[in-house]
Chain A
């Protein structure tokens, strides 16, 4: 039942930096640095993290919007990185993406009808004479009116434009959709509408989502599993419940404690981190979080921790990349603020 629709293996995405008098490559931005994970068919896996952690880069690398430096992206049994450009274009029929700002990714001079029929045309999904009916059906599905079919993107509000983006992704009948901060720019009341729509579509069409977001509230609402990234690495991955109720990595804990809760009676203890995220150009050695971690030791500076599970403390499938899961849990190690 739970087959993996997407398997990412040792994915690396480095962006060269040019400098010096002759403009040669002097270093790399290690945006994504050797990550592996799977997405199960029909589930929503969310990637969360702060800006610069590599979450959006991961989504783009999977779709080969940027060509990854290294690794394997196995989608439905095929390595996407080994496909020719042409085959990759065909493959995008099954693997769509919705961006944060739909306005930037749709042609402002096309009407909704043109946008949707062009998408179907490119992937050749339906005979021409059936497309019109399908476009109307799609518009209804995403909650737009049929009478809006000949309108241009600027005539819609932000939430409606995001619905156009969703309709375009759906038009080619994909198996999986990567949502890159798709609801981040929307007001709360509109965001809730779009989130509910995404959930409904997932049920109706058995879609798989890779949901990239910085908003942990949204992530808790929509995900089955959650993956936390920090500076190009996975620090923790788990079932939603396990991650939110029983976070094990100090970074995940900090992240959760930093979000303001809309309930003034819940004045909780906040862990406030020192400093900024270090530069991904020369990331810290060992555990990348050690420069800001209240528990860091010499071992953390030297050794890169592996993602691991401790079955007495964590659910099956819950893994965290920390040397001291047990010691922190037992209280043996005290935070050093």
Chain B
């Protein structure tokens, strides 16, 4: 599954057959079901998907921050050659916020309201580098400067509610990058922000990534953000990756009907579109997943084989990996060009 990149680039993290489930009184809910991907060192992998696709759960699984009733059920997560899933909780704590950091969607609620920004950044240094409070605060000041917060000295003593959304997200980034992590996981980092602030934050993260040589895993629902910031993209649907490619290939030549539908249903500000092509129906409930291809109930090309059997994520030889029968030699339907033929024949929509 890791065969699409040149082998001379080092892989920072490799996720193999990751399975994370939630065990509720109604039974097992498979939120992440056999996910594979890897992030090449210094590069950005984007995971795109709609709500319920399992993209955030994937991120939290890597951090080993899944809370009961959830549990990582199987698979392996290899970070710098070591399996994170085999580590003790104490070992894992030394990795979190140090080697692997995470920033979250809601800068409003992700900072502790009763501690100052300075205290919250300094804490990372106190935990991972054993610095005194005073030394740690000095380094925190440096971080605030790095992430471009104006009058950083004063901000060190500010409480989160005294900062704007954009400034809070900068503070979150300062916390995450404090210990110079090798991998940054950003879960919808700009979704709650206005576009002009989003542009600032994405620019900042990109610059810092280059300067610090980090690798990044970006979780988002926004295909625009993916196109502008990622090197590789994994498209997730109902707990599985349905397509994986480098960013140019994915946007130029999407192969999975879901990817195509997603791109066609996106209203764009830069071009005119008459009617939006839609994806019929809804995302299946995670406790009631289809047996075959999970997209089959909504797919305009679905045939019996799609409903019955789940296809594998298969390498297409041109940089894409796609989980779809159409792109296999077992396909028993008429020849399809997913991109041009996408759409539902009758007016079955809405």
Contact = CB atoms under 8 A, between A and B. Distances in A.
24 contacts: A50-B197, A51-B165, A51-B194, A143-B350, A187-B283, A188-B50, A188-B223, A189-B50, A193-B279, A195-B267, A214-B195, A221-B273, A222-B267, A257-B199, A259-B270, A261-B224, A261-B268, A261-B269, A261-B270, A262-B263, A263-B251, A265-B248, A266-B270, A273-B200
A34 B35 CA distance: 54
B276 A220 contact: no
Given A189-B265, A264-B251, A258 B275 contact: no
A217 interface: yes
Contacts of A143: 350
Interface stretch (B76-84, B98-106, B225-233): B225-233
B328 interface: no
B166 interface: yes
B203 A50 contact: no
A193 B227 contact: no
A216 interface: yes
A224 to B, nearest CB: 13
B228 A264 contact: yes
A191 B268 CA distance: 13
Interface string A61-81: 000000000000000000000
A221 B272 CA distance: 7
Given A187-B50, A220-B268, A50 B227 contact: no
Given A157-B282, A196-B275, A220 B166 contact: no
B164 interface: yes
Contacts of A126: none
Interface of A: 50-51, 143, 157, 159, 187-193, 195-197, 199-200, 214-222, 241, 244, 254-267, 270, 272-273, 275-277
B167 interface: yes
B167 A276 contact: yes
B194 A220 contact: no
B198 interface: yes
A216 B270 CA distance: 9
A255 B226 contact: no
B17 interface: no
B261 interface: yes
Interface of B: 50-51, 150, 164-167, 194-200, 202-203, 221-229, 247-248, 251-252, 261-263, 265-270, 272-273, 275-279, 282-283, 349-350
Nearest to A163: B350
Given A196-B275, A256-B269, A261 B282 contact: no
Given A192-B266, A200-B350, 8 more contacts: A189-B279, A193-B279, A217-B266, A219-B269, A220-B272, A258-B196, A260-B222, A276-B167
A217 B203 contact: no
B279 A276 contact: no
Contacts of B269: 216-217, 219-220, 244, 256, 259, 261
B202 A260 contact: yes
A260 B349 contact: no
Nearest to B277: A192
Contacts of B278: 189, 192-193, 196
Contact of B203 (A199, A221, A270): A270
Given A50-B194, A196-B276, A191 B199 contact: no
